[in-house]
Amino acid sequence: MTKKQISVMEWIGYAVGIAAILFTVFMIVFAVLR
């Protein structure tokens, strides 16, 4: 992928993916530390 163009949908996809991962990690840590 040589093109520098990043579409809005790609940014949304990355944001959703990162948010889901962080949320999952947070819930696991919260459940363990409880």
- Quick check: is 1 in a domain? no
Q: Over the Cα atoms of the chain, what is R_g?
A: 15
Q: Based on the structure, what is the number of domains in the chain?
A: 1
**DSSP assignment of 1-34:** -------HHHHHHHHHHHHHHHHHHHHHHHHHH-
Model pTM score:
0.59
- Quick check: is 11 in a domain? yes
pLDDT score recorded for residue 1: 54
- Quick check: is 33 in a domain? yes
- Quick check: is 22 in a domain? yes
- Quick check: is 2 in a domain? no
> CA 28 to CA 34: how far, in whole Å?
10
- Quick check: is 29 in a domain? yes
pLDDT in tens, 1-34: 566 777 889 999 999 999 999 999 999 999 999 8
Range of the structural domain that residue 18 is part of: 7-34
| 18 token code pair | 């990162």
- Quick check: is 28 in a domain? yes
pLDDT score recorded for residue 31: 97
